[in-house]
Amino acid sequence: ARLIGCRVGAGDKLAAGERFGLIRFGSRTDCLMPRGADVRVRTGDHVTGGVTVLGILA
């Protein structure tokens, strides 16, 4: 857990493509989206911060 850094807090708003944290050394993270979100990635996909679209919020 010390290898994960997050720079935003609850209720903060982010712009599209904005970086909000860093996971060092290939650690894992979970991304929770609201029901009804159009999820664009699947388990096992390789994603790149600021490039890969995880989902579209309705």
* Active-site residue identified among 27, 49, 53, 55: 27
User: Residue 56 catalytic?
Assistant: no
Beta strand residue intervals within 1-58, DSSP E: 4-6, 21-23, 38-39, 55-56
How wide is the angle at C-alpha 33 spanned by C-alphas 30 and 38, nearest 5°?
A: 120
- Residues with catalytic roles: 27
